[in-house]
Amino acid sequence: MKLTEETINNLKLTIMKYPTTVIALFLSILFLSIHTEAKKPKCGAQLIHAIIAKKDPAFFSKQAAKRQEAQQNFQYKQGAFMKTTAQVTIPVVFHIVLNQNQINAIGGIAGIQKRIDSQMIVINRDYGRRNADSITIPSAFKARYANTGIQFCLAHRKPDGTSTSGADIITLPSTTRKIEETNPNGQDLFYDAKFTNGAFNTWDPSAYLNIWVCNASLGNDTNGILGLTVPPYFPNTFGYNPNEVGIILNYRAWGKRSTGFEPYISGCDKGRTLTHELGHYFNLEHIWGDDNGSCPGDAGYSDDGINDTPIQKDENYGCPTFPSVSCSVSAPNGDMFMNYMDYCDDICLTMFTTGQVAVMQAEVSTGGESYSLTQNNNICNWPAAIPSLQSTTPIQVAPNPCTQYCNVSYNEQPTQISVINTLGVQVWSAAPSAIGNTNTFINTQTLASGIYYIHVQFKDAMQIQKIIIE
């Protein structure tokens, strides 16, 4: 993406108007996504880096030094890591920040859970070197195809200890919020950001990997950006608010398509946007080095700092045919366009390299910026009980075990009732209009035999009751 001086000035003006860093960055990116190449919506990393570099000219050299140190540290202890084949697991929470129309378009609460489930499968396969489409990796690059040793689990405990399915749903007003100012071309800036009433809804970023799923648009634009990441080292290195650490995803580039009617951006329906953004979270750069289309010897040439990713001129789109040589120095095999840190369609992205893994593993090992996330696996376990809430809003479920039905009774009318299986998937829910004043009937005949959890949400508390369906 070519950043002109006028563009940078527009970014600076936007940042001055909106003091919260990510709001400014997010709005700036939405503005730029229309007034640059319209080939496809993009990741926001280039724009964040351009903004930081204006404030700190040493930004790119700091980035290069950090990646080089990570690779060296990993190479020193690589043998021990590979012998133990130890993996780390990181708790994830999805903050769904959409209006009701957008929620309905992706299938409501059940659709949200389906997207989450499919997304978790994709990132765990991609980061565990278990993606079936790896068979398409050219033989020239196959030996570099690596397992990151990183896995992800859905958070099932909120910061207050109560239970969660891993989805924190915030329903916005049906009308999109509008910034009062208009950009220089007279278009209004529209956004659905990760904030409600100006406040963060971040869960402790040292324990949870926060992912905000929202809408990104500008004027008549329907695509906006695909994703935007604030990595864990940004607070200490560049003064960011720690509550801004995490990933923003466009809701139409999130999860894996299951039907032909779901709203997805073309080429972005296999869940690889999050695979890409997680790479940025763990300190990877775009594979071509964000150098505005330069090869070695060209002015401004840069690289991604990874030893085993080929040098390439610029980002790739669609699904190129191997070999695709953009810089002669990388002949005969050319670009590694199937790398998750390129811009090809989801269906063509299939691998991380050993060098990229070195950087990511350094981030999650002892002393790394993301190490604390790996020490909170208990967050992924459902709480056994919530005794602090039992006396205030008790519930009763009968019969239990259930055969054809069960009845939930209570003293205070709930706002929501749902049934969750042991995988954390919601399998039944009642609309507010269907919830009775003293009890709610649940038909269990359509549910498979097994253990489930009934979640009853009240105004100020949630009750959970384990049930058995026979």
Domain boundary among 378, 406, 435: 378
Q: What is the mean pLDDT of the chain?
A: 78
Averaged pLDDT, 339-347: 97
Q: Is the pLDDT of residue 135 over 50?
A: yes
- pLDDT, greater one: 277 or 175: 277
Q: Which residues, 6+ apart, have CB-to-CB distance to 6 below 8 Å?
A: none
CA–CA separation, 334 vs 315, rounded Å? Answer: 13
> Catalytic residue numbers?
277
Most trustworthy range by pLDDT among 132-136, 188-192, 376-380: 132-136
Domain boundary among 378, 402, 437: 378
CA distances for 61 relative to 1, 53, 64, 294, 459, angstroms: 20, 10, 5, 17, 51
Least confident span in 72-81, 90-99, 130-139, 231-240? 72-81
**CATH code at 451?**
2.60.40.3080
Strands (E), 183-273: 188-191, 195-196, 199-200, 209-214, 216-218, 227-230, 246-250
Clarify whether residues 269 and 399 are in a common domain: no
Q: What's the total number of domains in the chain?
A: 2
pLDDT tens column, 262-276:
899 999 999 999 999
Structural tokens at position 89: 């697991």
In percent, the amount of the chain with pLDDT more than 90 equals 38
Q: What is the model's pLDDT at position 322? A: 98
Is residue 291 within 8 Å of residue 301, measured between CB atoms? yes
Clarify whether residues 287 and 406 are in a common domain: no
Long-range Cβ contacts of 17-26 (<8 Å, 24+ apart): 17/181, 20/195, 20/198, 20/241, 21/240, 21/241, 21/244, 22/193, 22/194, 22/228, 22/230, 22/244, 22/248, 23/193, 23/195, 25/51, 25/228, 26/191, 26/193, 26/194, 26/216, 26/228, 26/248
Is residue 97 within 8 Å of residue 417, measured between CB atoms? no
**What does the DSSP assignment read for 429-465?**
EE-GGG--SSEEEEE-TTSPSEEEEEEEE-SS-EEEE
Q: What is the model's pLDDT at position 38? A: 41
Q: Is the pLDDT of residue 418 over 60?
A: yes
Q: What is the model's pLDDT at position 426? A: 81
CA–CA separation, 147 vs 124, rounded Å? Answer: 10
Clarify whether residues 362 and 394 are in a common domain: no
CA–CA separation, 228 vs 347, rounded Å? Answer: 21
* Biggest alpha carbon–alpha carbon distance for the chain: 76
Clarify whether residues 173 and 145 are in a common domain: yes
Clarify whether residues 354 and 401 are in a common domain: no
Q: Is the pLDDT of residue 361 over 50?
A: yes
Q: What is the model's pLDDT at position 184? A: 34
Q: Is the pLDDT of residue 374 over 90?
A: yes
Averaged pLDDT, 412-440: 82
Q: Is the pLDDT of residue 223 over 80?
A: no
* Of 361, 359, 394, 364, nearest in space to 376 by CA: 364
Clarify whether residues 246 and 301 are in a common domain: yes
In percent, the amount of the chain with pLDDT more than 70 equals 73
Q: Is the pLDDT of residue 198 over 60?
A: no
Straight-line distance from the first to the last Cα atom of the chain, in angstroms, rounded to the nearest whole number: 58
Clarify whether residues 431 and 374 are in a common domain: no
Clarify whether residues 298 and 355 are in a common domain: yes
Residue 393: pLDDT band (50, 70, 90) is low
CA–CA separation, 359 vs 362, rounded Å? Answer: 5
CA–CA separation, 300 vs 401, rounded Å? Answer: 68
**CATH code at 233?**
3.40.390.10
Q: Which residues, 6+ apart, have CB-to-CB distance to 298 below 8 Å?
A: 291
Least confident span in 43-57, 91-105, 333-347, 413-427? 43-57
Residue 93: pLDDT band (50, 70, 90) is very high
Residue 252: pLDDT band (50, 70, 90) is very high
Structural tokens at position 154: 């859905």
Residue 387: pLDDT band (50, 70, 90) is very low
Structural domain span for residue 393: 387-469
pLDDT tens column, 280-323:
999 999 999 888 899 999 998 988 889 899 999 999 999 999 99
Domain boundary among 378, 411, 435: 378
Clarify whether residues 324 and 438 are in a common domain: no
CA–CA separation, 45 vs 356, rounded Å? Answer: 17
Q: What is the model's pLDDT at position 106? A: 93
Q: Is the pLDDT of residue 437 over 60?
A: yes
CA–CA separation, 313 vs 293, rounded Å? Answer: 5
Beta strands 246-250 and 209-214 are: parallel
